[in-house]
Amino acid sequence: MIIVRWAPSPTGRIHPGNARPALLNWFFARRHAGRYVLRMDDTDAARSTRAFADGIEQDLAWLGVRPDSLVRQSERTALYDAARDRLIAMGRLYPCYETEEELDRKRARARLLGKPPIYDRAALSLTDEDRARLEAEGRRPHWRFRLDGRPVQFADLIKGQQTVNTASMSDPVLIRADGSYLYTLPSVVDDIDLGITHVIRGEDHVSNTGTQIEIFEALGGAVPVFAHHNLLTDAAGQGFSKRLGSQSIAQFREAGYEPMAIAIMASLTGTSLSIEPYETLDEIAARLDFSMISHGPARFDTAELDALNARILHALPYESARARLSALGLEGEAMWLLLRDNLRKFDDIAEWAKLLTGPVAPVIADEDREFLALAKSLLPPEPWDETTWGQWTDALKAATGRKGKALFLPLRLALTGRPDGPELKSLLPLAGRKACLARLP
Ligand code: GLU
C-alpha cells in the first residue's frame, strides 16, 4: 500500500507553489490506489495558526484533493519526545549552549580562516560541570543531531541518483532552546509512524533528505522513497511567498478562476504533459509520470492561466454549469451553449446574458441610422429560429446593396452594443423579436 503525505506549515495561506506538491502527491496516490495524509507541520507555535490550517483544508478541497486523514504535529509531541529521548540515549542528540551571537562569531572566524562555516561541535566536549555551570547562568540548551558525516545516497524518483554529503553540513538543530521542535525530527518521526512510503516534495528539501535519512536510520525506521520536484516561480521568476499573501489560492478563487485551471497550472507547469483542459484530476493522475517533470524551474504564467481558464469554460457542459448558473439567476442550455465561448471567468456570463434579457445599450453610428431603421421595418415576424437571421440579412442586402462588414457590423453594434460576441444567427431566436425591435432606431 502506497501512503503519501502533503505537509504544509500553516503559517500563511497557500499559493500555487504550495499547491504543486499537494497535487503531485494526490496524483501519485490516485495512480497507485494509495492513501493521502494531510499533515499540518504546526510545531512552530509562534507562526502557525488554526485559522491558516483551516484555510489550507478549504483550499485543498477547492482544488479537488480529498485527504484520507489529517494529522497535526502539535498533537503528537509525545511521539517526538520519545524519539528525542532515544536519540539522546544513543548519543546522536546533544545539548549546545551557544547563543546566536556566539555562533555568528564562530562562522565569521571560520570564514576568515577560509574554512566552511560548519558548526565546530564544541558542545560535544563539554563536561558535566561545564553544562551545570552554563545552566546555572540561566542558559537553556538547544539540541543538535550528530551527523555521521558521510555521503548519503538515495534514488530520487524525479531527479535520479542523489548524493548528499553530510560531512559538509553543520549538525542540524532539532530542538530549540524553548524545547520546541524544528521541522526536521517530527517529520521523520511522523513519516515512520504513519508508514509513509513516498515523500514527494520540493527540491529545496534535497539536502534535508541527507539529514533525514540519517535520522530514519538512527531510529530504525524504513526510509521512504523520495521524489523532489522542481519549484514553481511566479511570472517574474520569483518564488511565491506565503508571507506576501498575494497570489494565494484563496485570491485566485476570489478572482473567479476555475479550480481546475489553478490545479493544472500549479501541477503541470514545468512538465512535458500539455497544459490543456482536463475534466478531472484523475485524468491527469493517469497520465502524469514523474519522468515528465522537468529539472529546470517552472514559471507560472498568468497569461497562460487566463487562456486555460477560458478554454475550460468554453468546453464546460451545461450539466456542470447548471447549478452555478442558477446561483446567478440564470438558466437554459441554449443560452449557455451560445454564450460560453465568450467567457474568461464564469461570472462573466451574467453580463453576456443581458444580450438575451437586456438591458442592452445599442451602439448606433449616425451614418447607419437610416439603414438600421430600414432593418427594423424588415425584421421578420415570429416564430423565429436559426434561419431568421439569414432571411432578414438577405432582404436587407437586396434592399440596400450592402454586404459583408458594412451589412453585419451595424446590426451587431445595435443589437448587442459591442463589436464582438456570440453568433447573431443563434442569438436572435433566444433574444426574441420584441427585444430586437427595442434596440433598433
Ligand atoms: N512543512 C514542510 C514544508 O512545507 C514539509 C516538507 C516535507 O514535505 O517534508 O516545506
What average pLDDT does the segment 375-381 reach? Answer: 97
pLDDT of residue 235 exceeding 90, the answer is no
Is 205 a pocket residue for ligand 1 (Cβ < 6 Å)? yes
Distance of alpha carbon 249 from its chain centroid, rounded? 6
201 C-beta closer than 6 A to ligand 1: yes
End-to-end CA distance of the chain: 72
Going from the Cα of 8 to the center of ligand 1, the distance in angstroms, rounded, reads 6
Which residues are paired to 69 by β-bridges?
A: 37
Q: What is the pLDDT of residue 15?
A: 95
Interval between CA 188 and ligand 1 midpoint (Å): 11
Report the nearest atom of ligand 1 relative to the CA of 200: 8
Instruction: For 274-309, give one letter per residue: b (16+ CB within 10 A) or e.
Output: ebebbeebeebbeebebeebeeeebebeeebbeebb
Give the tens place of pLDDT for each residue, 118-155: 999 999 999 999 999 999 999 999 999 999 999 999 99
CA atoms within 13 A on the CB side of 276: 6
Helix runs in 90-173, H state only? 100-112, 128-136
Any ligand 1 atom below 6 A from CB of 5: no
Instruction: State in Å: Cα 18 to ligand 1 middle.
Output: 10
pLDDT-derived band at 246 (thresholds 50, 70, 90) equals low
Distance 250 CA to ligand 1 centre (A): 20
- Judge whether 59 and 302 are in contact, CB under 8 Å: no
Kindly give the pairing relationship between strand 225-229 and strand 160-165. Answer: unpaired
Could you tell me the three cell numbers for 187? 517529520
CA of 199, closest atom in ligand 1: 8
Q: What is the pLDDT of residue 244?
A: 59
- Whether residue 227 is predicted with pLDDT greater than 70 in this model: the reply is yes
Helices 184-193 and 77-89: angle between axes, nearest 10 degrees: 100
For 30-181, where are the E strands, in sequence order? 35-40, 69-72, 93-96, 142-145, 151-156, 160-165, 173-175
User: 158 by DSSP, 3-state: which?
Assistant: coil
Cell numbers representing residue 213 in the block? 535519512
Of all atoms in ligand 1, which is nearest to the CA of residue 204? 10
- The cell for 196 is 509513509
- Judged on CB neighbours under 10 Å (0-12, 13-18, 19+), 2 is middle
Give strand pairing partners of 39.
71
Report the DSSP pairing between strands 173-175 and 232-233.
Answer: unpaired
Stated length of the chain: 441
Q: Write out pLDDT tens, residues 80-128.
A: 999 999 999 999 999 999 999 999 999 999 999 999 999 999 999 999 9
Q: So what's the pLDDT on residue 264?
A: 98
**pLDDT tens for residues 161-206?**
999 999 999 999 999 999 999 999 999 999 999 999 999 999 999 9
User: What pLDDT score was predicted for residue 357?
Assistant: 87
Residue 98, all three cell numbers: 551557544
For the segment 344-369, what is each residue's pLDDT rounded down to a tens digit? 999 999 999 999 988 999 999 999 99
How far, in Å, CA of 23 to CA of 65, rounded?
A: 7
- Looking at residue 298, what is its pLDDT? 93
With the C-alpha atoms ordered 410, 413, 416, 418, is the resulting torsion angle positive or negative?
Answer: positive
Residue 245 in this model has a pLDDT that exceeds 60? no
Inform me whether the pLDDT recorded for 396 exceeds 80. Answer: yes
Q: What is the mean pLDDT of residues 57-69?
A: 98
C-alpha 40 – ligand 1 centre gap (Å): 9
Compute the radius of gyration of the chain from its Cα atoms. Answer: 31
Rounded alpha-carbon distances, angstroms, from residue 349 to 229, 327, 339:
38, 12, 7
The verdict on the CB of residue 183 being under 6 Å from ligand 1 is: yes
Axis crossing angle, helix 404-416 with helix 424-431, rounded to the nearest 10: 30
- Which pLDDT score is estimated for 181? 96
Closest CA to 166 of 127, 132, 232, 214: 214
What residue type is assigned to position 175 of the chain? Answer: I
Domains identified in the chain and CATH numbers:
318-348 (no CATH), 366-439 (1.10.10.350)
Residue located nearest, by CA, to atom 5 of ligand 1: 7
Question: Residue 238 above 60 pLDDT?
Answer: yes
Q: Does 198 contact ligand 1 (Cβ within 6 A)?
A: no
Average pLDDT, the chain: 96
The answer to whether the beta carbons of residues 368 and 402 sit under 8 Å apart is no
Q: Pick the residue whose CA is nearest to atom 6 on ligand 1.
A: 7
Q: What is the pLDDT of residue 243?
A: 61
If one residue of 158, 204, 205, 206 were mutated to test the ligand 1 pocket, choosing by the most ligand atoms within 8 A of its CB, it would be: 205
Distance CA(323)–CA(312), nearest Å, equals 17
Cα separation of 205 and 172, whole Å? 14
